[in-house]
Structure 1
């Protein structure tokens, strides 16, 4: 169960936290366990030996050790051959099937080795599955509420592999199989050396690593390139700042969001930001507007800590940063805002509940008269990468009929870009330019777009081509 839970978390940075990920994980583990039960039953009848049992456990542990360094190459392979959502299933099968088969073979072996009296077979099997189920319950709770919040996903997987190999060695020692014990320990050492070498060669973007931590949501890194500091989630750049001028925008899209708020609501006194990142926009707006109060919320508490410690997000009474889900915060806080900014999407993960008509309705209820929402959307206006954006735009129009749209860097509407969407229930002005970028005024064909709802929001499918660019 521990491996199954961390397996879903391992794949989510690449495929999102969608039903495709969890459906694939559950399918692979059930298929592998069924195969292991069947094969283990046959093998246990042919050779019921503790040494063979230890061999299956050791093999499963060693295979688990190689899961973390193989995930990125397998993901890139499936993206390269265009498997789409089926790539999740293929990667899960490649990573987890064989070690899970090995673990599945353990159960029939233990039952076979434990049989001394056929009259007590039912009692033995019942006790075994009761203990096994209790172990699964403990493993599920411990992994969810203790291990993942406190340790990195990769560390948990490595620990699972090492524990299994050590358990196999202990069984062999108790069975006085010293040569096999030495072999298992040597394989463990060689495997650890191989995976450690592979990890050290993984891409680190070439900068000087300042900070790194794997959380329940992200593998967070802070890296310095000369005078610039970058925040990365799962190897994807999220924020950048000039260490000497922390309030100066480096990326055009953050400047656009900042300027959009300043142009459409220069009198704003209350703002909500969903998705903090490095706090670039927050820093700039608080510096320029001393009357502004900002509520900022991010699902990952570690992101808030990093923004304060490494990106100069101000420790000010004008800023209240909260760890939590943006939509839950919006619903529970019951404050009213002049501006709501949503910067919670990236190329590999789009929280579907932050895209729906119901979410837009909740934002509308939280806005003061004349209030605006500002979205940062990695997409294109037309072409291959536009499917998600068009559905999001159509959805927003169900609640906010007025909108303005800007491309952060390109002029071609078919190019992948950071699209800045400003929407309101009230009339919006039309600036000549914002942050030296023109407003996009072309017609947008929404005939194939769908309205996203809490009941149906297939964002992982709509944004599949964007996610495949990993």
Structure 2
């Protein structure tokens, strides 16, 4: 027979562990849906909102159940079910994700459906446990305030540790699918502990059935190739995949890098100057034409990704001193191992580009700064503000140029307009370009250039024809956006205190255009 103190300690440990595991599942939820909807404020709000909703419903149910004299065995049974629900997550994802891709839902709607289907039930079940066990602990002690405070503190502490453990250790070390399986097994074991000693044939039978189901789900999930993670590698930042694009007759092998659900770049083995994406080629054309009369260049890249642009710049005809600020060291290593990157003569610094620029020696200046750190429709706010533009202005030479790309809609690209206004508040000359002007509202990739002196473009003022391969044409849309800004009158200059990026590109999240 266990003492009251031992029972209280057991209930406290289970509350701590179940709370930690719920937050592990919450963090991994964002990673599991990232290959289908990316990562943004909208997807994170869907994850946090649904999990909190499930937790709230569970707490209410657990409190009502506690008033009806629920037992530790009942709490254990709920944890067994939560473990089974967690083990079923890869199966549910496999069943619905592919079907959702064929339905024209918005990113926000897809995020809500995925998170609800995957994690609402586990959150409800785990939420039931804390009020049940807190009530059971109160029956073992007269120190009611102490028990309630302790249980709340342990629940919060478990949540904190679960958050950090998932993001900093578990996901990079084990991968998302394995973290889900481990969480399901851990919840199941917590339930078994609460249900011992097993008394009565019904409880024994129910536990045996649940145990067999858990073993079956775990084994079938582990060995089923259809349920394998879509990621080749998982870092603290991305689900990373490389795709073999085949072999070109003269250019050799071609491989692409996919971060979450966005293709970030395609590299060919034998010709690093070949740029398949129109916006990447345009950025290269603008930089080289702006500095066509220079014997050598010094360039800084905000983001490396597939390293397509730094690689092309390095292999161009003129000598270039290249510095790359890439947030994720795993991405850099994959570019070296699988994407034909030879960065032996580049300076690669792993860290946030804004922080890296600030740490560089005070007198270091660049002829070119390239902004390619936007992740699909997810925009790092601190890299679009006037304060960041002022830092770039200070780091550019007098004849330097800043070139960046961003995703928005056309014709009412409010983020593109805001960026043009923001850069125009710091730089003397700003231009905006498109590969094609769509006939109807569409998702497009804008290329912006900003400089202290005019950009020298040869040929028709609002039309640029490629001098590199493949042959392409781009159109300047600066004047069109300027006219729209005057008509709207509501597009802000982005600052560190006010950068409503998601609001400006909300149609990409709330309509099918963004997919």
Bin of the TM-score, shorter chain as denominator length: 0.7 to 0.9
CA distance, structure 1, for counterparts of residue 224 and residue 90 of structure 2? 9
Select between 302-311 and 133-142 the one with higher mean Cα deviation.
133-142
2:211 maps to what in 1? 185
1:460 aligned onto 2:489: no
Deviation at 1:37, TM superposition (A): 2.4
Aligned counterparts, 1:193-342, within 5 A: 200=226, 212-227=232-247, 228-266=254-292, 267=294, 268-289=296-317, 291-317=319-345, 319-333=346-360, 334=362, 335-342=364-371
CA distance, structure 2, for counterparts of residue 115 and residue 382 of structure 1? 63
CA distance, structure 2, for counterparts of residue 196 and residue 151 of structure 1? 13
CA distance, structure 2, for counterparts of residue 215 and residue 164 of structure 1? 25
Indicate how the Cα distance of structure 1 residues 108 and 186 shifts in structure 2: closer, same or farther if over 3 A, else same.
Answer: same
CA distance, structure 2, for counterparts of residue 124 and residue 380 of structure 1? 55
Deviation at 1:106, TM superposition (A): 1.0
Deviation at 1:293, TM superposition (A): 0.8
Select between 368-377 and 323-332 the one with higher mean Cα deviation.
323-332
Q: Show CA shifts across 1:83-107 (max 9, x none).
A: 6757656654454332222112112
Where 1:427 maps in the other structure, the secondary structure is coil
1:207 maps to what in 2? none
Aligned counterparts, 1:18-57, within 5 A: 18=41, 20-57=42-79
Q: Show CA shifts across 1:116-142 (max 9, x none).
A: 555344444444444444433432332
CA distance, structure 1, for counterparts of residue 268 and residue 423 of structure 2? 34
1:107 aligned onto 2:130: yes
CA distance, structure 2, for counterparts of residue 221 and residue 307 of structure 1? 11
Deviation at 1:64, TM superposition (A): 2.6
CA distance, structure 1, for counterparts of residue 101 and residue 227 of structure 2? 21
Q: Is the 8 A contact 2:326 2:332 kept in 1?
A: yes
1:387 aligned onto 2:407: no
5+ residue gaps, structure 2, are 1-22, 248-253, 467-471
TM-score, normalised via structure 2 length: 0.79
Indicate how the Cα distance of structure 1 residues 188 and 393 shifts in structure 2: closer, same or farther if over 3 A, else same.
Answer: same
2:250 maps to what in 1? none
TM-score, normalised via structure 1 length: 0.86
Deviation at 1:286, TM superposition (A): 0.9
Deviation at 1:231, TM superposition (A): 0.7
Q: Is the 8 A contact 2:34 2:261 kept in 1?
A: no
Indicate how the Cα distance of structure 1 residues 321 and 408 shifts in structure 2: closer, same or farther if over 3 A, else same.
Answer: farther
Q: Is the 8 A contact 1:340 1:373 kept in 2?
A: yes
Select between 434-443 and 306-315 the one with higher mean Cα deviation.
434-443
CA distance, structure 2, for counterparts of residue 409 and residue 193 of structure 1? 50
1:440 aligned onto 2:440: no
The counterpart of 2:396, out of the listed 350, 353, 367, is 367
CA distance, structure 1, for counterparts of residue 414 and residue 88 of structure 2? 36
Deviation at 1:427, TM superposition (A): 1.6
1:354 aligned onto 2:383: yes
Indicate how the Cα distance of structure 1 residues 431 and 153 shifts in structure 2: closer, same or farther if over 3 A, else same.
Answer: farther
2:18 maps to what in 1? none
Deviation at 1:457, TM superposition (A): 1.6
Indicate how the Cα distance of structure 1 residues 243 and 70 shifts in structure 2: closer, same or farther if over 3 A, else same.
Answer: farther
Where 2:485 maps in the other structure, the secondary structure is coil
Q: Is the 8 A contact 2:50 2:115 kept in 1?
A: yes
Deviation at 1:338, TM superposition (A): 0.6
5+ residue gaps, structure 1, are 205-210
Deviation at 1:410, TM superposition (A): 5.6
The counterpart of 2:447, out of the listed 417, 420, 424, is 420
2:27 maps to what in 1? 5
Q: Is the 8 A contact 2:107 2:508 kept in 1?
A: no
**How large is the RMSD of aligned CA atoms in angstroms?**
3.2
Indicate how the Cα distance of structure 1 residues 190 and 366 shifts in structure 2: closer, same or farther if over 3 A, else same.
Answer: same
CA distance, structure 1, for counterparts of residue 190 and residue 377 of structure 2? 37
Deviation at 1:463, TM superposition (A): 2.1
CA distance, structure 1, for counterparts of residue 56 and residue 233 of structure 2? 36
Where 1:422 maps in the other structure, the secondary structure is strand
Indicate how the Cα distance of structure 1 residues 152 and 431 shifts in structure 2: closer, same or farther if over 3 A, else same.
Answer: farther
Deviation at 1:341, TM superposition (A): 0.4
Indicate how the Cα distance of structure 1 residues 203 and 196 shifts in structure 2: closer, same or farther if over 3 A, else same.
Answer: closer
